[in-house]
Structure 1
């Protein structure tokens, strides 16, 4: 069977249309904000990391990270205010499912490995835990073990 060049190009474009790794970025910009006692707290330092890298941001702020099929972990802290540790799962986007159907599954594995077929929420609201107040008092005597 012979296909005209325009027909062959159309078939090729249709197959590639579902390939997120070719049509989407492997990076994503997210807004990170922190909340304590139902109020936003500014100036909190956060580290975001997944299996592809690590990024730093001071809240509220935007950071561009590399997408992944794995979870995004968020570790935040502000001296005297509080701390947070959260995990956010990535979600499959619509292009990944189209890719599975159009490329007989080959593109699915490419997108899963590059992260292009996945997205994190565009706004990450991190709930902080209050800092533990240290009890003031005399230091323990030498040789005394505290538990």
Structure 2
């Protein structure tokens, strides 16, 4: 009977080892960069949002976000400098996925999807900035007034 209990305990521990919810951190540090006119621009405020929370960072900068199976929305803006948005998909981490399939027959994947622990975002996010519409309209008016007929 003692051998049976030990075997059950070892199998339970092995099964839990495949679940990223128990073996991986629930946060990830990401780098946010902003680019405008083919140059990196600094000092842009960015808000990162997913179904697990909201985080703020000034680019270029790093911020710890909570992992999720859902998308990460990145919204960057600075008065007079421009605006930029991006949406990043999460992906299942290879180690967690293999552990879940082999050790838990896929049940760990369902738990990880709910908690987000087995998913990752890209380590670097580059947001393309564009001029605010008010500045774009002023530039179009200026070009139109300088046109040669």
Deviations 1:63-83 (A, max 9, x none): 111110011000110111111
1:135 and 2:138 matched: yes
Measured in 2, the distance between the counterparts of 1:42 and 1:105 equals 43
Measured in 1, the distance between the counterparts of 2:125 and 2:50 equals 15
Question: Structure 2: any 5+ residue segments left out of the alignment?
Answer: 142-149
Alignment of 1:1-147 (within 5 A): 3=3, 6-94=6-94, 95-132=96-133, 133=135, 135=138
Worse overlay, 10-19 or 24-33: 10-19
User: What's the TM-score, normalizing by structure 2?
Assistant: 0.82
Worse overlay, 103-112 or 64-73: 103-112
The CA deviation at 1:85 is: 1.0
The CA deviation at 1:7 is: 4.2
Question: Structure 1: any 5+ residue segments left out of the alignment?
Answer: 138-147
Bigger share in helix: 2
Deviations 1:59-102 (A, max 9, x none): 11111111100110001101111111110000111213421332
User: What's the TM-score, normalizing by structure 1?
Assistant: 0.83
How many pairs does the alignment contain?
Answer: 137
Moved over 6 A (4+): none
Q: Is the 8 A contact 1:96 1:108 kept in 2?
A: yes
The CA deviation at 1:128 is: 0.9
The CA deviation at 1:3 is: 2.8
Q: Is the 8 A contact 1:70 1:89 kept in 2?
A: yes
After superposition, the CA RMSD in angstroms is 2.1
